[in-house]
A and B are shown apart, each in its own frame.
Chain A
Amino acid sequence: MNSTIKYLAIAALLLALLALFVQNPKEKRRVGIDLDELARVIEREDDHVTADELAAMLKEGNPRLRVIDLRDSLAYLQYHIPTAERVAISELVEMPLRPTDTLVLYSEGGIHAAQAWMLLALRGHRNVLTLKGGLLEWKERNAKNDSGRSRSRSDSTQVKPPAKKFEKEQEKMREVC
């Protein structure tokens, strides 16, 4: 090893050795809370979106929109809202988020989503919404739309079936519409 490398190695080891004795920087966590502002957001109902509003947002195809599923892996794999990512609440606190992202959180009914919303609000994130009524409301909405479509389909003319490649995407978009 040449002398420059030796000195750099010694400096690195010294810094690493010092790290054993100082306070863990992960324990330093800033939490800034403006309770009045949070209360106003909740009163104005700016903290959530309805299933119809979420469907419209998904149709727009905004790349900054992130839909977060807070349920367990099994429930997520069985069914999830198109484009949703599965994130556990414990991971949400550590998850890095871009200030330009808009998050829509959902759980089965909505309680966990509301709790997670509060955690993110305490972290200073403002572009976070919850899905009003949770996945139950989303499924109810889709059920209504499906029954509406099946009534109109019986009156419609024959439509050429889509190519197999796009069937899955079409299935997902039908849920959104």
Chain B
Amino acid sequence: MAPFYQFGFFGEWTSLLFAFAIGIGFGFFLERAGFGSSTKLAAQFYGRDLAVFKVMFTAIVTAMLGLFWLAWMGVLDLSRVNVLPTYFVPQLVGGLIFGVGFVTGGYCPGTCAVAAVTGKMDGWIHLVGMMAGILLFGELYPALEGFYNSSSMGVVSLDSLLGIPYGTAVFLIAVLAVGGFYFAEKIEKRFTSVRSGS
């Protein structure tokens, strides 16, 4: 039964090898999708290229449906899948800082690594800045610990938060994703035509 590591099918080192292989796959597909380019990534905030939105939502729906149906078939124990707890205010603040960094730098953490290894200097600079930020957080952690652990809501899922069945939440998110995909294409066409003056 999955998750295989949680059930002791393989040990620590094998799990790290799997993580390494998955990481290679992740980096490969990010680069193939063109996400090693800050111009392409930042373009989503101007409505010109919503590839990031489309890829992310596709990944969300694929993982969501996979988890649901594998658990329903009894081959995955959902209670052993790691879900981070929600700390409302710290995560809101962290998201804000992340958003500012993303638009300013044109990269998120994964994509700046992709850009860096494909030889882009801005990717390296973004990566160094990110590491410096992590180091700074670590040094300031004793002072930030109280805030960091504040407003804990525990492990929260959409279905438990909204008080709806799990299957209903899955359906609503899938509809939202497919609808979002459709409208993203409309938005891209509109902003591209506006830009070209047609």
Contacts and interface: CB of A to CB of B under 8 A. Distances in A.
Contact of A77 (B11, B146, B170): B146
A13 B177 CA distance: 10
B45 interface: no
Contacts of B12: 100
A28 B68 CA distance: 12
Contact of B171 (A17, A25, A94): A17
Interface stretch (B28-36, B98-106, B122-130, B178-186): B178-186
A62 to B, nearest CB: 13
B85 interface: yes
Interface in B52-101: 61-62, 65, 68-69, 71-72, 74, 77-83, 85
B25 interface: no
Interface stretch (A49-57, A84-92, A106-114): A84-92
B78 A16 contact: no
Contacts of B165: 20, 24
B147 to A, nearest CB: 11
A22 interface: yes
B167 A19 contact: yes
B193 interface: no
B167 A99 contact: no
Counting contact residues on chain B (CB < 8 A from A), the size range is 35 or more
Contacts of B109: none
Contacts of A41: none
A98 B69 CA distance: 23
Nearest to B165: A24
Interface string B133-152: 00000000010001001001
A133 B3 CA distance: 35
Given A24-B167, A99-B6, A100-B12, A88 B82 contact: no
Given A26-B71, A99-B8, A16 B175 contact: yes
Interface in A22-64: 22-26, 28-30
B6 A28 contact: no
Given A17-B171, A22-B167, A24-B165, A100 B11 contact: yes
Nearest to A21: B167
B14 to A, nearest CB: 12
B26 interface: no
B74 to A, nearest CB: 7
Contact of A96 (B65, B71, B80, B177): B80
Interface string A7-20: 00100110111011
B174 interface: yes
B5 interface: yes
Nearest first, the 10 A-B pairs at minimum CB distance are: A16-B174, A25-B71, A19-B167, A96-B82, A19-B170, A25-B72, A16-B171, A91-B154, A24-B166, A99-B8
22 contacts: A9-B178, A9-B181, A12-B61, A12-B174, A12-B177, A16-B65, A17-B171, A19-B166, A21-B167, A23-B72, A24-B165, A25-B71, A26-B71, A77-B146, A91-B155, A93-B79, A94-B155, A96-B6, A96-B79, A96-B83, A98-B5, A100-B12
Given A90-B154, A99-B8, 16 more contacts: A1-B181, A12-B61, A12-B174, A19-B167, A19-B168, A19-B171, A20-B167, A20-B168, A22-B167, A25-B166, A26-B78, A28-B72, A73-B152, A86-B149, A91-B155, A96-B82
